[in-house]
Amino acid sequence: MQRKNGQSRSVWMESADLPTYRPLAAPEHAGVLIIGAGLAGITAAYCLAKDGFEVMVLEQGQIGSGDTARTTAQITAILDKGYAETERLRGEDGARLAAASHYAAIDRIEGIVREEGIACAFARVDGYLFLGPGDSADTLTNELSAARRAGIPDVELLATVPALGGRMSGPALRFPRQAHFHPLRYLAGLARAAERLGARIYGDTHVQTIKGGAVPFIETSNGLTVTADRIVIATHAPINDAIGYSTRVFPAMTYVVGLQLPRGSLPPFLAFDTADPYHYVRIQQAAEHDLLIVGGEDHKTGQADDQDERYARLEGWARQHFPQAGPPRSRWSGQVFNALDGLALIGPDLASPNVYVIAGQSGIGMTHSTIGGMLLADQIAGRQNPWAELYEPNRLPIRGLGEALSEGLNVAAQYRDLLKGGDVRSEAEIPAGTGAVVGWGPGKLAVYRDEQGVVHRRSALCTHLGCVVAWNDAEKTWDCPCHGSRYTAYGKVMSGPAPADLGLAE
């Protein structure tokens, strides 16, 4: 059974044939054990199996049951922080390596699609960076100069982009040869290719404990143990927080709407703006009509309760900029983990020998996840990789300390909820199909009343570091406002860093 990752369903979930995998049934040993079967984990499995390693993958749901199913699947080297800011944070060499690694990831995805014959609608498209409201033209000229210093000679500044029409007409930077695809169809093909190379994949297997060492091992929630020569944690946010990943990557919810378009009314493209939070756009072509996919309206996980208003604002923005957009066809949300410098954390976990991580893929997870698989395959195989220092997990960019302090203060402020009353005074106030936090202090309860009126109670304290969870009515989940752990309405852990379900009500 596929574990739900939220109430909403993306357009990808409705149009993919994913393989299903049985649970782990007995203790085993693996050469490389990978935790997580999203794009990062399955890419790592494919790369390592191709190198001849004995690979096993464990996933608590089924493949793609996490945020890979909730992406907009833009495959891009247009960095989250931009090249000018990346250069400021990581230097000119760092920006150059970031560009090289993301373009290499796009090429690697294209090569895998071709080599493995994966039918996932992969296509090369132009990517555009537009100004956000109030931003000056200098923003684009500075970004153009930084991108060229980073080794992207074909980026260009356009006064207008007539092909897009509407309000998205320019000025803009054009980055040629970006790409997009159907993420779940790609993931399914990649998983089948990894299996053909010998990888073993298990679903519905929750890993609760990870221990590094000379012979690292994991323990599942039903008591099984798997030993390995090496372990890769590809769970979006690592569930072992030995070196403080929760102080290095910061969770945010992001929202997406899909609006019907007349077939061929817009060319395939990617677009981003410089607003904060930024908007991101792509086209999904179909036989009867196209789909305009627009994302944005991000906020810190667990720190907003106005999801319907955010969807409405996003749809309004889409219609303002693309007047040809028709009726809404889908909407969904997902979660991203943002690193201080906008670059993923990939490499050895320095506190846990023989354990590696891929985390903090930010808003460009398709390329970051692919870089993760490529880089870890090199490191585990003993090959030198020029990107290793750039993505080192324990780095802390000195020029990002102010943002780190701000994020830390935000997290600390969430613990004040322990001193406040619940969302409602009693369970009787909770309507069917919704949840609310009830009570005071460490005894607070996360209470969900299902559609039949049956009440389900769990501790409201996140099993990561004890923050009080918040009800997400749009997705019917409990979300941690401190470090981004998420749970089903019934308290089952969906994503880390929390290692376990919400505690039983006392």
CATH of the domain at 473: 2.102.10.10
Q: How high is the mean pLDDT of the chain?
A: 93
**One-letter amino acid identity for 250?**
F
Q: Which of 339, 359, 383 is the last residue of a domain?
A: 339
Clarify whether residues 258 and 171 are in a common domain: yes
Q: What DSSP letter does each residue of 226-263 carry, written as one string?
A: EEEEEEEEEEES-S--TT-GGGTEEEEEEEEEEEEE-T
Clarify whether residues 162 and 20 are in a common domain: no
Relative to beta strand 55-58, strand 28-35 is parallel
Helix (H) / strand (E) containing 49: helix 39-50
CA 245 from chain centre, in angstroms, equals 15
Mean pLDDT of 7-33: 95
Whether residue 83 lies inside any domain: the answer is: no
Q: Which residue has the higher pLDDT, 372 or 403?
A: 372
Mean pLDDT of 64-71: 93
Whether residue 104 lies inside any domain: the answer is: no
Clarify whether residues 431 and 456 are in a common domain: yes
Tally of domains in the chain: 3
Clarify whether residues 170 and 253 are in a common domain: yes
- DSSP reduced 3-state for 287: coil
Q: What is the largest CA-CA distance in the chain?
A: 63
Clarify whether residues 283 and 391 are in a common domain: no
Q: Which structural domain range is residue 264 located in?
A: 121-178+248-339
| pLDDT for residue 401 is more than 70 | no
Mean pLDDT of 318-322: 93
Whether residue 94 lies inside any domain: the answer is: no
Cα 33 from Cα 25, distance rounded (Å): 16
Q: What is the pLDDT of residue 1?
A: 31
Clarify whether residues 229 and 364 are in a common domain: yes
244 φψ region: left (φ > 0), alpha (ψ -120 to 50), beta (else): left
Mean pLDDT of 355-368: 95
Q: What is the pLDDT of residue 3?
A: 43
**One-letter amino acid identity for 455?**
V
Angstrom CA distances, 36 to 18, 62, 360, 429, 443, stand at 15, 9, 14, 38, 32
Clarify whether residues 242 and 269 are in a common domain: no
**Structure confidence by residue, pLDDT tens digits, 437-487:** 999 988 999 999 999 999 999 999 999 989 999 999 999 999 999 999 999
Clarify whether residues 253 and 220 are in a common domain: no
Q: Which of 329, 363, 396 is the last residue of a domain?
A: 396
CATH of the domain at 320: 3.30.9.10
Whether residue 148 lies inside any domain: the answer is: yes
Reported as a pLDDT band with limits 50, 70 and 90, residue 286 is confident
For residue 257, list its beta bridge partners: 294, 331
Clarify whether residues 420 and 379 are in a common domain: no
| pLDDT for residue 140 is more than 70 | yes
Whether residue 450 lies inside any domain: the answer is: yes
Reported as a pLDDT band with limits 50, 70 and 90, residue 166 is low
Clarify whether residues 267 and 320 are in a common domain: yes
Clarify whether residues 328 and 386 are in a common domain: no
Clarify whether residues 330 and 467 are in a common domain: no
Whether residue 49 lies inside any domain: the answer is: yes
Whether residue 171 lies inside any domain: the answer is: yes
Mean pLDDT of 71-84: 97
Relative to beta strand 28-35, strand 225-236 is parallel
Whether residue 358 lies inside any domain: the answer is: yes
Asked whether 339 and 345 are in contact (CB, 8 A), the reply is: yes
Residue whose entry in the numeric block shows the structure tokens 């030995």:
242
CATH of the domain at 233: 3.50.50.60
First to last CA, the chain: 29
Q: What global pTM score does this model have?
A: 0.95
